[in-house]
Amino acid sequence: MQEIAGVGVDVGLEMAELETVGACLCGAVRFTIRGSLRNVLACHCGQCRKSSGHFWAATAAPRDAFTFQSDDGLSWFQSSKEAKRGFCSNCGSSLFWSHSGKDTLSVSAGVLEKPTNLIFGGHIFCDDASDYYQVDVGEGVFETTSAGRAGPQGSENT
């Protein structure tokens, strides 16, 4: 099994290779990512569901690939012992997930400008999904439960 951006699953190596631009809804947080982006993973853990209002679809890149044009509205919430979540304090957009032990930064795929050239890689923590939707296992499921993970509701692999 190959580890990709801190997720102990092989989600394929097809990746976007270009400059990707992202921003929150109000524009107070704007950034550029240079280089490869991990395939998009949909995380169904309780923390991702609560912070985003549904499951969280994210890609990731090395921290040093991010350049911020504006981070005036960027705030961080320590969501577990090892991880924190970045959001815009002006408009509330859920933007980032950062694990203290990883050299990558996860970013919400929905805040990236099109074309993203991203590929959906699959689902993680499906057993934690809410009861109002079904996960399509045909799209790939890599980790089914967050049980035993560090932090409340387990979210250490987003």
Where are the chain's structural domains?
18-143
For the entire predicted model, the pTM comes to 0.77
Enumerate residues 6+ apart whose C-beta is below 8 A from 57: 40, 41, 42, 43, 108, 109, 110, 120
Q: Coil, strand, or helix at residue 130?
A: coil
CATH among 3.40.50.620, 2.60.40.420, 2.170.150.70, 2.60.40.10 for 18-143 = 2.170.150.70
Token reading at 138: 């045909």
Q: What is the pLDDT of residues 81-98, one digit of tens each?
A: 999 999 999 999 999 999
Give me the residue label for tokens 């990707």.
Answer: 20
Q: Is the pLDDT of residue 9 over 80?
A: no
Kindly report which listed range (62-76, 102-116, 122-136) carries the lowest average pLDDT score. 122-136
